[in-house]
Amino acid sequence: AGILGKNAGELIAEAALAIEMGAEMDDIAMTIHPHPTLSETLNFATEVAEGTCTDIYMPKKKK
């Protein structure tokens, strides 16, 4: 996997910190991220994966 593009360094720094500290998804989700920033998207991704995201519209699953 890779990260490239404008301001990619912000996401790389966030991911590198998570790897260095051995963070799990819950650790990242519980960390305060400033808004609006790109690093906040890593937080959103972990919250979506855990099913706890309240900032992104997620339609209800059909039964």
Which two three-digit tokens encode residue 60?
């209800």
| Percent of the chain clearing pLDDT 90 (strictly above) | 37
* Residue entry with tokens 């609006």: 36
Residue 63 has pLDDT above 80, yes or no: no
Q: Are 10 and 37 in contact (CB under 8 A)?
A: yes
Query: In the prediction, which pLDDT does 55 show?
Result: 80
Q: Output b/e per residue, 4-40; b: 16+ Cβ within 10 A.
A: eeeeeebbeebbeebeeeebeeeebbebebeeeebbb
Helical residues (DSSP H) of the chain, grouped into ranges: 8-20, 25-30, 39-50
Higher confidence at residue 46 or residue 54?
46
- Please give the positions annotated as active site: 35
> Does the domain formed by 1-63 have CATH 3.40.50.300?
no
Question: Global pTM?
Answer: 0.71
